[in-house]
Structure 1
Amino acid sequence: MTSTVVDHEIVIVGAGFSGIGTAIALRKAGFDDFVMIDEADGVGGTWHWNTYPGIAVDIPSFSYQYSFEQQRSWSRVYAPGRELKAYAEHCVRKYGLRPRIRFGTTIARADFDDALHLWRVTTSDGEEITCRFLIGATGVLTRPKLPEIPGAERFRGSTMHTARWDHSIDLRGKRVGIIGTGASAIQVIPEIAKDVSKLTVFQRTPIWCLPRPDAPMPPAVRALMRIPGGQFLTRWLSQAFVEITFPLSAHYYKVLPVVKLGERQGLAHLRDQVKDPEVREKLTPRYALGCKRPSFSNDYLKTFNRENVTLETDPITEITASGLRTTGRHHQVDVLIMATGFKVMESGNMPTFDLHGSGGTRLEDWWDTHRLQAYEGVSIPGFPNFFTIIGPYGYNGASYFTLIEMQTTHILRLLRQARRHTATRIEVTPEANERYFREMLSRRGTQVFWQDSCALANSYYFDKNGDVPLRAMSTPEAAWRAAHFALTDYTFDSVEKRRSTSHPAARTASA
């Protein structure tokens, strides 16, 4: 007879900040039987894999950290990537998580066992790990996206993606081509432009680039954070800045004039930084600020004033053995850098493994049929005991750390309820999920994404159904809902209760 004993009560897939935050919350709440599984050889997720030149956080450091683990040692207002990696390692040490992490392990598949109310998680090596509850904490900036350009296999030079930077490649004196002008590119481009002999930037869609209020952390701010209430004040001001620049401006576009103010600032920044009017015109976005992820930089735009930097906006038609061909000319390059982002709203990314729920239903198939959706961004009907930190309609544009803490609040309410009632199966009701999904769709009218100009943005916010599965609400509302959603929106069941009801003899057999 199949054993009902599980290897772990909870399996967390991912040891980035989502996984770390979830693990800390579980330990604080008394849920100690868990394991974290990650395919990397270290913690930090995005900040482990991404080590390209110039990498840094794109919101103030005061917000890009857990509210319960704030530190005063950030070197800059916008911390560099190495400090975020070190912060992840610090949190793992302080909260004793290292013995609970399995590195170098890739989850290939997970199947829900309806009879025993458990998940059978299979690694790429064929090992099976069983757990009662499965938490997806793999983030969204996980799987690098490569451009589909003919001839890539013919290129004889060196190629790399910004998310998997190859530090063995010396760019000094090289002719370098970089495809993409998104959030990673605008950090990489100023850093490498000063070393290469020639840099050609291949742009499909210009990005809104705003000035970044960055600087070495001022001594006055460090002093402020050491006095009572100082950390609270700096974090509150930072959180307000983040809230205004995305959640409020994006989701309440028709109510608040923040986007128009931001656009004026962005265009003024462009005029101040770029000398050549023709180049400036090519760098001017034709869509509303917020249609796609904007960024902040004080160096990116002025890099195009350099004699060794060329902006190419003609479409790439093919990659050749020695470079790239556009509709206008052929560009010789020695090194090709793909700054083409990640699979965000695409198959194979949410989650990063093959997930089969109740009755064997595949999650990607369910989403293909019903569109991307998840109740409060956490749960999907038909997929019991599975929770995701960054699911569809879970992210509203605030700091990921704020989101992680909200979503773990939601999950812990469910786990505590299950423990109180010795439940072994937790599942959101179809009615609750449908209600939430319809509510999110009904709020589109005030969002920036539905302006006509967004059709020109080539934004990864839009999925293949034309939806934008972002949480259409302010951060305070999202936090309140995480703490107050009705537990009756879920069903709680027990495998032992079902056995005793349907098969009285089973009680003896399983004892």
Structure 2
Amino acid sequence: MTTTDRPPTVVIIGAGFGGICMGIKLKRAGIPFVIVEKADRVGGVWQANVYPGAACDVPSHLYSYSFEPSPDWSRAYGQAPEIQSYIDGCARKYGVLEHVRLNTEVTAASFERATGRWTVTLADGSTLLARFLVAATGQLSRPTEPDFPGLDTFPGKVFHSARWDNDYDMAGKRVAVIGSGASAIQFVPQIAPRVEQLYLFQRSAPYVLPKPDRAYTALEKYLYRSFPLAVTASRARKYLWHEARVVPLTKGRGMKPFEVAFEHNLKRQVPDPTMRAALTPDYPIGCKRILISNEWYPAITRPNVEVLATGLRAIDGSTVVGADGTRRTVDAIVFGTGFAVSEFLAPIEITGLDGRSLRDAWRDGAEAYLGMTVSGFPNLFVLYGPNTNLGHNSIIYMLESQTDYVLSAIRHAGAHGSTWLNVRAAAQARYTAEIQQRLAGTVWEEGCTSWYRTAGGKNTSNWPSFTYDYRKRTRFFDPANYEEATAGTG
């Protein structure tokens, strides 16, 4: 519970990297706030994903707050428990944890024009009032759990990788893994040596490159702890390297070196040409998320692993049935089917001016000015919102840009006596048109089906430029693009 006696000026939904960062900025500014988190601890996606091998594909020194560099990372790429511990440590150090209400789920939020306040409804029926609502639920908070015919009659164990059952012993079991995306390439190598047989149902082969991961040596740890500038230098070097990767992704050319690296990696680790053919994607590299792993190909070429190049069609008793009619009898099914990325803020019911539903506003695909504000929904800010995902760098950089912008907006409202701020529809339309136009020439639009795009083909996920371009746009709040209401004029 929050320790302040004042009603919160800001309600933040979610206690992951975005929510905690926002809390830290508000705490420093002396602005009352509360963070509501449906889980029993902070960490966001990193406390939820406890599957074996869960880790980040952005280097540790880069996947952390710029104002809180850590010399204590054990590896070049952080693993889930260590990342969650880092977030928890930051929340404690900056006094944010005392403002967090755990085990508290938000079901709805509605805006009142007359008062300029949001009423936030919780799962237990109680409500919170606040002038500003910050949604920090992220893009990876809702697992996609397919409902295949016959699934409800399957007698064995079924779970999604994001809801891993650590009490289930897979030793000696026959396991079907559905999907070969970012989660599967991490947990499959961990469970393959333990199971009797693993059947991997791969609808679409991923591009997998080597992961330059390793444990830091004792000397490196000593240097990082003794010389803070060493961490800063490491972070800067990694930032610049990753930032440069946006050029081939967004300019529609220059991906050939990555394709060659993939082919070399595949040939080196998979000697069988028939299997290599099954593991070679049928779409341009970069169109879907490029994955990194040193363990994926050795794991799926084990004698007790069978790769089935087919999606799942149905379940028939203890048998899983592929789209091509392939049948395998199993004891457990694990879905590595990712997240409902394009369904921002769902299933929370968000209601803005004149009773307008955010779900209706986003019926044709989510959009927001700077990925944060939506016309008709005053004083609502979305962190890691539409078109702010990255294919090349650290999302933490984007979140810090966004939280600074939100803080600037809140300060502006206070300084000018504004009851609420509502981004102009024209400003949002211009911005959306620009982003979609810039996306049109990127590798993400080269015809493949990916979680970057809605069913209608609109890319609502990715930012199509350099991160420092986004930082420049969000450095200062721009009131000219907003309608403002003061007490009695709303």
Class of the TM-score when normalised by the shorter of the 2 chains: over 0.9
1:504 match: none
2:469 match: 477
1:422 match: 417
Return the offset for 1:399.
Answer: 1.2
Return the offset for 1:353.
Answer: 0.7
Q: Pick from 336, 356, 360: which aligns with 1:361?
A: 356
1:360 and 1:495 map into 2 onto residues whose CA distance is 20
TM-score, normalised to structure 2, is 0.95
Alignment of 1:363-402 (within 5 A): 363-368=358-363, 371-397=365-391, 398-402=393-397
Q: Letter of the aligned partner of 2:283 in structure 1?
A: Y
**CA deviation map 1:207-263 (0-9, x unaligned):** 110000000013454344332531221001111232234x33322334xx1x22111
Return the offset for 1:412.
Answer: 1.4
How many residues end up aligned between the 2 structures?
482
1:118 and 1:146 map into 2 onto residues whose CA distance is 35
Return the offset for 1:485.
Answer: 5.6
Q: Pick from 298, 303, 306: which aligns with 1:307?
A: 303
SS at match of 2:58: coil
SS at match of 2:74: coil
1:433 matched to 2:432: no
CA distance 1:491–1:57, change in 2 (3 Å) = same
Alignment of 1:165-176 (within 5 A): 165-176=164-175
Given that 1:6 and 1:130 are in contact with CA atoms closer than 8 Å, whether structure 2 keeps it comes out as no
Q: Letter of the aligned partner of 2:124 in structure 1?
A: D
1:116 match: 115
Q: Pick from 482, 492, 495: which aligns with 2:487?
A: 495
Percent sequence identity over aligned pairs: 36
1:125 and 1:228 map into 2 onto residues whose CA distance is 46
Q: Letter of the aligned partner of 2:480 in structure 1?
A: T
CA distance 1:135–1:485, change in 2 (3 Å) = closer
1:215 and 1:377 map into 2 onto residues whose CA distance is 35
Q: Letter of the aligned partner of 1:459 in structure 2?
A: S
Q: Pick from 335, 342, 352: which aligns with 1:345?
A: 342
Alignment of 1:71-470 (within 5 A): 71-225=70-224, 226-227=226-227, 229-245=229-245, 247-254=246-253, 257=254, 259-326=255-322, 327-346=324-343, 349-368=344-363, 371-397=365-391, 398-451=393-446, 454-455=447-448, 458-469=449-460, 470=462
1:129 and 1:468 map into 2 onto residues whose CA distance is 34
CA distance 1:288–1:441, change in 2 (3 Å) = same
**CA deviation map 1:465-492 (0-9, x unaligned):** 3111222211111111111463211122
SS at match of 2:77: coil
**CA deviation map 1:38-63 (0-9, x unaligned):** 11010001111100001111111111
Given that 1:274 and 1:304 are in contact with CA atoms closer than 8 Å, whether structure 2 keeps it comes out as no
Given that 1:6 and 1:118 are in contact with CA atoms closer than 8 Å, whether structure 2 keeps it comes out as no
Q: Letter of the aligned partner of 1:417 in structure 2?
A: H
Q: Letter of the aligned partner of 1:424 in structure 2?
A: T
**CA deviation map 1:322-372 (0-9, x unaligned):** 1202234320111110111111113xx435411000111000101115x42
SS at match of 1:26: helix
2:24 and 2:346 map into 1 onto residues whose CA distance is 21
Given that 1:350 and 1:391 are in contact with CA atoms closer than 8 Å, whether structure 2 keeps it comes out as no
Range 434-443 or range 485-494, more displaced? 485-494
1:6 and 1:442 map into 2 onto residues whose CA distance is 45
Given that 1:211 and 1:296 are in contact with CA atoms closer than 8 Å, whether structure 2 keeps it comes out as yes
Given that 2:175 and 2:198 are in contact with CA atoms closer than 8 Å, whether structure 1 keeps it comes out as yes
Given that 1:157 and 1:321 are in contact with CA atoms closer than 8 Å, whether structure 2 keeps it comes out as no
Given that 1:6 and 1:132 are in contact with CA atoms closer than 8 Å, whether structure 2 keeps it comes out as no
1:24 matched to 2:24: yes
Q: Letter of the aligned partner of 2:316 in structure 1?
A: T
Return the offset for 1:185.
Answer: 0.1
Range 398-407 or range 436-445, more displaced? 436-445
Gaps of 5+ in 1: 500-511
Q: Letter of the aligned partner of 2:453 in structure 1?
A: F
Return the offset for 1:445.
Answer: 4.0
Q: Letter of the aligned partner of 1:358 in structure 2?
A: L
**CA deviation map 1:41-87 (0-9, x unaligned):** 10001111100001111111111100011111111101111101111
1:195 and 1:269 map into 2 onto residues whose CA distance is 25
2:212 and 2:278 map into 1 onto residues whose CA distance is 25
TM-score, normalised to structure 1, is 0.91
